[in-house]
Amino acid sequence: MTSETSPRRHAERLAIDRSVVPPHLARRPGGPFALHRGRGRVTTLVRPVLGYLLVLPSLAVFVIFFYLPAALLFALAFYHWNVFGTTTFRGFGNFAVLFNQPLYWQSLLTTAYFVVVMMPLTTLVALALALLLREGVRQARGGLARSLIFLPHVTPIIATSIIWAWIFNPQFGLANFVFSHLGLPRLGWLEDPAWSMPAVMLYTLWHSVGLYTVLFLAGLLVIPEQVVEAARVDGARGFALFRRVIWPLLSPTTFLVLILVSVNTMQAFSQIFALTGGAVGRGGGPAYSTSTDAVLIYQTAFTYQHFSLAATMSLILFVILLAITIVQKKLSSRWVFYR
């Protein structure tokens, strides 16, 4: 309520925090291994070595299957490479080619559109479902509903995308059937550049919202019930109760969900490709309306065999993801409360 940010108060709080650390865990001069001093030279030498030995297997797997390919990919971004083996260094040449491509810029915009809609949409729907389900859990009838909501998430994207492509069929699809019964206009969906992206979003929401709902449910379960009851006795109810108590205590979950949604949608490929006819040589249409960055990367690499250009696009996507995550993390300290 008062100015929490005054430097002095901040320093005071830090001092309090430090006093909470038990003395035997407080930092000692001499680094982390100083604790083992006095037990003889052998232990001081063996301990760190043994530690590295123990993490070596998993570290090796990580290096071979993750860091190495990633490093190769990033290197590739600065070369021109074709399947026949001629490799030339191009510096930032690939970047220049990309930035002069309107299609590339459009794909970034399409991706941004996808991400910017999906973040609040998924979060709100998942949160709403979780709040409804929690009431169900209280009444011991939530188990089935919870399973039903989670179920789509464990279906294969390719298979269910094809089903949804039928649902979105303008002539015979379920979507327009429902729409016309509700008195809403029949839409072109995946055949209309204006509605293809919303169709992709609807499918993505259907497929992923169960996961986020379960995360929110878990987050709601760890909110101490008595704290909520104390707020009710204090006179908070309905939205005030949600805004002042539940939402702040749920913020770590909300933050996690936001990060996951942004990363997942930014990289989303399978459902877009399958819904828009990637299997029959199209994908990303109509009129590039669903050509997100990921779709474009795939097509550049595997349709046009332009591996180094695709590598460059991947590198840029990685940097964007990293930047967004860092920014979210930084912003989070303002609104996320960790107990």
Partner 1 sequence: MVMVRLDAVSKRFADAAAVTDLTIDIADGEFFTMVGPSGCGKTTLLRILAGLDRPDSGDVWFGDRRVTDSDPGARDVGMVFQNYALYPHLSVSENLAFGLRVRHVRRTEVQTRVAEVATLLDLQALLHRRPKQLSGGQRQRVALGRAIMRRPHLLLMDEPLSNLDAVLRERMRIELRRFHDRLGITTIYVTHDQREATSMSDRVMVMNGGRAEQVGTPGEIVRHPRTAFVARFVGQPPMNVWRASMTIDGTGDALVSDGSGLRWTVPGPWRRAAAGPIDVWIGVRPHDLRLTGPGETADLTATLDVVEAGTGDDVLLHCRHRDQGLVVRVATGQRIPRTGGVVDLTLRSDRVHLFDAGTGIRWPAATAAPNSNGAVAGSLAADVVQQGRRHG
Site residues, partner 1 (CB under 8 A):
1-2, 4, 9, 12-13, 16-17, 20, 224, 226-227, 229-237, 240, 244-245, 248-249, 337, 339
Strand partners, 79: 89
Give 60 or 227: the residue with its C-beta nearer to partner 1: 227
Distance CA 326, CA 339 (A): 21
> Parallel, antiparallel, or unpaired: how do β-strands 87-89 and 79-81 relate?
antiparallel
Scanning the structure block, which residue is given the tokens 């043994």?
A: 50
Spacing of C-alpha 47 from chain mean position: 37
Q: Cβ 226 to partner 1, closest distance in Å?
A: 4
Give φ, ψ of 28 to 5 degrees. -115, 155
Q: Cβ 236 to partner 1, closest distance in Å?
A: 5
- Residue 189, by phi and psi: left (phi above 0), alpha (psi -120 to 50) or beta? left
Q: Cβ 145 to partner 1, closest distance in Å?
A: 21
Instruction: Collect contacts of 316-322 with beta carbons under 8 A, ≥24 apart.
Output: 316/95, 316/98, 317/266, 317/267, 317/293, 318/74, 320/266, 321/262, 321/263, 321/266, 321/267
Instruction: Give 260's contacts (C-beta < 8 A, 6+ positions apart).
Output: 211, 212, 215
Distance CA 339, CA 336 (A): 10
Q: Cβ 36 to partner 1, closest distance in Å?
A: 31
Q: Cβ 129 to partner 1, closest distance in Å?
A: 24
Determine the length of the chain.
Answer: 339
Q: Cβ 133 to partner 1, closest distance in Å?
A: 21
Give 186 or 244: the residue with its C-beta nearer to partner 1: 244
Give 70 or 227: the residue with its C-beta nearer to partner 1: 227
Give 59 or 230: the residue with its C-beta nearer to partner 1: 230
Q: What is each CA distance from 135 to 143, 148, 193, 254, in whole angstroms?
A: 11, 16, 40, 19
Give φ, ψ of 176 to 5 degrees. -70, -30
Give 144 or 233: the residue with its C-beta nearer to partner 1: 233
Q: Cβ 139 to partner 1, closest distance in Å?
A: 12
Give 72 or 230: the residue with its C-beta nearer to partner 1: 230
Give 236 or 301: the residue with its C-beta nearer to partner 1: 236
